[in-house]
Amino acid sequence: MVGMEDYGQFETAWCPGCGNHAILKAVKKALAGLGLAPHEVLLVTGIGQAAKAPLYMNCNMFTGLHGRSLPAATGARLANPGLTVIAESGDGCSYGEGGNHFLAALRRNVNITLLAHDNQVYGLTKGQASPTTMQGMKTKAQPFGQPSLAFNPVAVAAAMRAGFVARGFSGEIEHLAGLIQEAVRHPGFALVDILQPCVSFNKLNTFSWYKERVYRLGPEHDPTDFAQAMSKAQEFGERIPIGVIARNDRPPFEAGVPGLARGPLAARSLDRDALRRIVESYA
């Protein structure tokens, strides 16, 4: 039987009180609850404080370039569909440097899960505004206030008919672990945008700020209803819903790739004669 202890305990470099600690616990709890052994899981990450999370887990991992976790995760999943592949990184890495990859992942619908730690700043580089920083918020790099509108990843994902779109909160570990389990089970691309306080560089969106606003979606919300999903996806301010915002049954990308019909690429032997012919064709 798999337990959270199988994913290990490691000393972290995060600040005391950082939301990343709770997210790390929720991820371990979710994977153990799914009965997934560490060797069955691949965590793919980019760069940043959130991107350190896989370093503190005992499982397969790959660190890509800044913003490049999703293409690496996509390649790994297509090569080995037997692997549970999770991309895990921050809001800057996922929606800023990796913004185009995020859009491509929504379109393709490959069977991977994105866990985006959303603290609304670049924490590793000391608190510059990220794509999700609220308009008007002052930072060291934006002393007169962030002039741009905040990017809403949940609304964008819902608008692009992503298969599974959820928002979680690091202050609700049990609820978050349940969302992660649902996301991993979903046969297609799944986004869990996770609100978390950055205790060092975001003095606006604090833990108490979130606690006053966050509420759980109830059974009256139907995530398969596009109009309801878009309405809840755009609700952010005095009240912030958490839970499954949108869901549909789009077929995963893998179902439309003939090359995968013969089984996982990772399980096939190398045809050296075919490789030689391909190389020679470019001579």
Whose CA is closest to 60, among 7, 113, 101? Answer: 7
pLDDT of residue 47: 94
pLDDT at residue 269 is higher than 90:
no
For 236-265, write each residue's pLDDT tens digit. Answer: 999 999 999 999 999 999 988 888 888 888
pLDDT at residue 5 is higher than 90:
yes
Share of the chain above pLDDT 90, in %: 89
Strand partners, 91: none
Q: How far apart are CA 213 and CA 237, in angstroms?
A: 7
Q: What is the mean pLDDT of residues 162-182?
A: 98
Phi first, then psi: what are they for 62, rounded to 5°? -145, 130
Q: List Cβ neighbours of 105 (8 Å cut-off, separation of 6 or more).
A: 70, 74, 112, 114, 189
pLDDT of residue 153: 97
Determine the 3-state secondary structure of 13 from DSSP. Answer: coil
